[in-house]
Amino acid sequence: MPHSRLFALRPRDAPQEAPPDARGTAPRRVLIVEDDDAICSSLGEALRERGFDVSTASNGREALERLRGAPPPSAIVLDLMMPVMDGWDFRQEQLQDPALRPIPVVVVTAAGFSSESIRTQFGNVVLISKPVPILDLVDALGRACDPTSSSPA
pLDDT per residue as tens digits for the range 39-81 = 999 999 999 999 999 999 999 999 999 999 889 999 999 999 9
Residue ranges of domains in the chain: 28-145
Average pLDDT for 77-102: 94
Q: What is the pTM of this model?
A: 0.78
Average pLDDT, the chain: 81
Report whether the peptide linkage leading into residue 131 is cis, meaning its omega lies within 30 degrees of zero.
yes
For domain 28-145, the CATH architecture is 3-Layer(aba) Sandwich (3.40)
CA–CA distances in Å: residue 71 to residues 55, 66, 116, 139: 12, 9, 31, 23
Q: CA quadruple 150, 60, 120, 106: dihedral positive or negative?
A: positive
Per-residue pLDDT tens digits for 110-125: 877 777 778 788 888 8
Q: Are 88 and 120 in contact (CB under 8 A)?
A: no
Task: Please determine, for residue 11, whether its predicted confidence score (pLDDT) is greater than 60.
Answer: no
- How far apart CA 137 and CA 143 sit, in angstroms, is 10
